[in-house]
Structure 1
Amino acid sequence: MTGQASRSLRVALLGCGVVGSAVARLLTEHADDMRARVGAPLEIVGIAVRRAGRDRSATGVDAALFTTDADDLVTRADVVVEVIGGIEPARSLILRAMEHGASVVTANKALLAEDGPTLYAAAARHGVDLYYEAAVAGAIPLLRPLRESLAGDEVHQVLGIVNGTTNYVLDKMDRTGASFADALEQAQALGYAEADPTADVEGFDAAAKAAILASLAFHSRVAGKDVHREGITDVTAADVAAAREMDSVIKLLAICERLDGGISVRVHPAMIPRSHPLAGVGDAYNAVFVEADAAGQLMFYGRGAGGDPTASAVLGDIVAVAQHRVAGGLGPGESSYADLPVRPMGDALTRYHISLDVADRPGVLAKVASAFADHGVSIETVRQRLVPADDERPESGANLVVVTHTATDAALSATVASLRDLDVVRDVTSVMRVEGS
């Protein structure tokens, strides 16, 4: 791969949506700077699109570059940039590009989470790079620090907000008291949420990113299917209000941590104290908190999505792999030597915030406390509020809020099941995990 400074490096783009068009524009606008940084000119040789004839003049991209023959395009490039997303045809095109000697830059979190090892193996077999900084947190430089800067350290935990849509929704609910449905509607109106927001609000997007983060942080293969996933669709305004009473906020968290000779990888909403660094991350921003043995605590913060922010991360990867081709050599490949097993969700250590609708009579608290003790769960705090009788409820009752000490999720879940069976418990109105304290 040496001696390429005498000619242009050919760049092929797969996809010309919001991110792809931003990459093409920035490569053109900053061509001189890119040449200086790489040591050779970068030439866009084509942009693969699904449909020909569509008016793409608004992208500012030369119409002559567009092609529907992606199979041919990837064989004519030194660097292939994949920003079409999804599993197929992205996977086949990436593998074909590598077979023809092209290094690959991708932002495809779903593909990496489902079949990253196959891509890594192909890159190693064909002697090319596979870079994907934009796959997890947009413009935030996060994966390279985990992959390279912290390669000599031992990471204990990665805790983060990695989905801007859900963060906007939960932040709006916290700041305005809006319901989930109203906050989501506002997110869609602003372009933060898709017309079909399932991938975001049900946690699929965050789970794929958690798999990538855990794989890098713990030098082990973690797939999207290994991640325990819960979304935010069941988070209510009452849950947000309850968090506020505890001086906390609710965030959708990706949590990756070492646990008993293995690793725990999970995505779910949780209360975190307002004093925690992640609590102040508002709007559609992302932030990831990393704790390592020697480095201590680190936090990465910034825009996690959008055309230009994501294109910034893609361009950084393009420069890196292009420099490798000019100088000769490769960047780091897959590191999975640790091969740590992924522990089931029941083994995860967490705390619960449980809200109960109970009868207002003697012995209620004793029965509730006994249910916790039966499962070895210690209670940290208890708050009780009387609920007077009304037209809908002829008998007065009480709202009982219990916050536990740390226990396994299995023990906590079993406790909740037992509480539901108590004759003094009318309803378990809310269960929320508590993290970060």
Structure 2
Amino acid sequence: MTTALRVALAGLGTVGGGVIRVLEANRELITRRAGRPIDIVAVSARDRSKDRGVDISGFQWVDDTSALARCDADVVVELVGGADGPALALARATLAAGKGFVTANKAMLAHHGLELAEAAETAKVPLKFEAAVAGGIPVIKGLREGAAANAIGRVYGILNGTCNFILSKMESEGRDFVDVLAEAQALGYAEADPSFDIDGVDAAHKLSILSSVAFGTRPAFGGVAISGIRHVIAADIAEAAALGYRVRLVGVAEAGANGLFQRVHAHLVPADHPLAHVTGSTNAVVAEGNYVGRLLFQGAGAGDGPTASAVVADLIDIARGEYGPAYAMPVAALAEASAAPAGDRRGRAYLRFTVADRVGVLAEIAAAMRDAGVSIESLIQRAAPEDGTALVVIVTHEAPESHIGAALERLRGSQSLAGEPLWMHILD
């Protein structure tokens, strides 16, 4: 009889319980695809007595998560979360013990992925993380294997389901950010402290992983320019729609002669672009290869079923003996890419100002644009709210980003502005 792949599982939350359910529900099919059974032999979590809706009585219980590395298992699955702490200790101990490691932990990979990939290579064991980016969408596998013959020029997409839920809800119902965020928290789409999601950090973690796999560069989370959606208001959504766009939080990465460009920022996406039709908590990633053309990966970006599906897919690969370097090439072959400056990038921009409703304000803004060399495509002023301010929206012609930044700098401290301007890039 073929020897089973023995798995130790750290973390029995939503995804951990999902892994157990997937392995049980599809056991016969998974065994045939893997060529041998995949069995969980040990588990660890904070509370042994908690009812998780799955039977864990047949598994060895381990109180100390890091001790799973010493269990009689071939692979350890880490679903604890956190960039450091118990998750990182378990990863290091597992690889040092010569066991395979599977994780859904994008924060840990963004900060320590290179170290872990080197440790896996030294130990000649697999390090796999399909579930760390875009939940159940096989985008890591698609880039690492399916598109391996291509030079990827750009990878971009919607990488955070919480933000996409909020923005698409604001769009469909005309509600403001704070109201929809509260609903997302009540439904469990957003954490009690939603900062990592709404400020773009979660998407940036994922983008740095995608960049490394797509471009063959060392993970560079520190080089990601990050901005979230907490300053987007209902009026921005409405103005974007009137202009033929939808607002989405988009992560964009490109590798070129000037280095590696990585940014997470709210964008205006043309209504006929595939990303404009990604709604709710769905994720989508676009990769552009020099021979395969544009590839679109879309699906559920989170949740117990989709994420657990990705974890089990990694286990099936390991059971087959089908795995290679974590980042698609040996660590020594990964390029050290400097951060590419954004200033020389050319594009169109959406700028929203909250201004004092008085004579001369529009002229002051237009003069700042003119003096910075930014041409205005359209300018809209909406009726003043009761607080005596007005909203001014400008869409620029294509210009270097440094020029747009210079125009906003000229307006800094102006008595005409009642708040910080909002700058959203327009996706080409």
TM-score, with normalisation over the residues of structure 1? 0.89
Which of 56, 66, 82 is the aligned partner of 2:61? 66
Deviations 1:252-305 (A, max 9, x none): 111111344312101111211211110111111111121121111111110000
The offset of 1:214, in angstroms, is 1.0
Distance (whole Å) between structure 1 residues aligned to residue 338 and residue 134 of structure 2: 25
Which of 196, 201, 206 is the aligned partner of 2:203? 206
Tell me if the contact between 2:65 and 2:86 (Cα under 8 Å) persists in the aligned partners. no
Could you say which residue in structure 2 is the equivalent of 1:11? 7
Could you say which residue in structure 2 is the equivalent of 1:55? 50
Q: What's the % identity of the aligned pairs?
A: 38
Could you say which residue in structure 1 is the equivalent of 2:80? 84
**Mapped pair 1:375 → 2:366:** no
Could you say which residue in structure 2 is the equivalent of 1:41? 37
The offset of 1:63, in angstroms, is 5.7
Distance (whole Å) between structure 2 residues aligned to residue 363 and residue 230 of structure 1: 27
Could you say which residue in structure 1 is the equivalent of 2:325? 332
Distance (whole Å) between structure 2 residues aligned to residue 184 and residue 283 of structure 1: 13
Could you say which residue in structure 2 is the equivalent of 1:112? 109
Distance (whole Å) between structure 1 residues aligned to residue 187 and residue 9 of structure 2: 28
Could you say which residue in structure 2 is the equivalent of 1:280? 277
The offset of 1:55, in angstroms, is 2.7
Distance (whole Å) between structure 1 residues aligned to residue 211 and residue 32 of structure 2: 35
Could you say which residue in structure 1 is the equivalent of 2:349? 352
Deviating more after overlay: 71-80 vs 98-107: 71-80
Partner SS state of residue 297, structure 1: strand
Which of 406, 409, 432 is the aligned partner of 2:423? 432
Tell me if the contact between 1:420 and 1:427 (Cα under 8 Å) persists in the aligned partners. no
Q: Structure 2 counterpart of 1:13, which letter?
A: L
Q: What aligned pairs does 1:194-343 form with structure 2 within 5 A after superposition?
A: 194-324=191-321, 330-334=323-327, 335=329, 336-343=333-340
Distance (whole Å) between structure 1 residues aligned to residue 137 and residue 35 of structure 2: 25
Could you say which residue in structure 1 is the equivalent of 2:404? 412
Pair 1:362–1:200, CA change in 2 (3 A) = closer
The offset of 1:375, in angstroms, is 2.5
Distance (whole Å) between structure 2 residues aligned to residue 431 and residue 342 of structure 1: 24
Which runs of structure 1 show a deviation greater than 6 angstroms over 4 or more consecutive aligned residues? none
The alignment's C-alpha RMSD in Å is 2.5
Partner SS state of residue 33, structure 2: helix
Q: Which runs of 5+ in 1 are unaligned?
A: none
The offset of 1:407, in angstroms, is 3.1
**Mapped pair 1:125 → 2:122:** yes
Deviations 1:112-155 (A, max 9, x none): 00010100000000000111010010011101111122222111
Which of 393, 406, 411 is the aligned partner of 1:401? 393
The offset of 1:363, in angstroms, is 10
The offset of 1:185, in angstroms, is 1.2
Q: Which runs of 5+ in 2 are unaligned?
A: none
The offset of 1:60, in angstroms, is 3.0
Pair 1:49–1:405, CA change in 2 (3 A) = same
Q: What aligned pairs does 1:378-389 form with structure 2 within 5 A after superposition?
A: 378-379=375-376, 381-385=377-381, 387=383
Tell me if the contact between 1:228 and 1:345 (Cα under 8 Å) persists in the aligned partners. no
The offset of 1:35, in angstroms, is 2.0
Pair member with larger Rg: 1
Q: Structure 1 counterpart of 2:350, which letter?
A: H
Partner SS state of residue 291, structure 1: strand
Q: What aligned pairs does 1:167-178 form with structure 2 within 5 A after superposition?
A: 167-178=164-175
Tell me if the contact between 2:200 and 2:227 (Cα under 8 Å) persists in the aligned partners. yes
Distance (whole Å) between structure 1 residues aligned to residue 380 and residue 234 of structure 2: 19
Tell me if the contact between 1:253 and 1:270 (Cα under 8 Å) persists in the aligned partners. yes
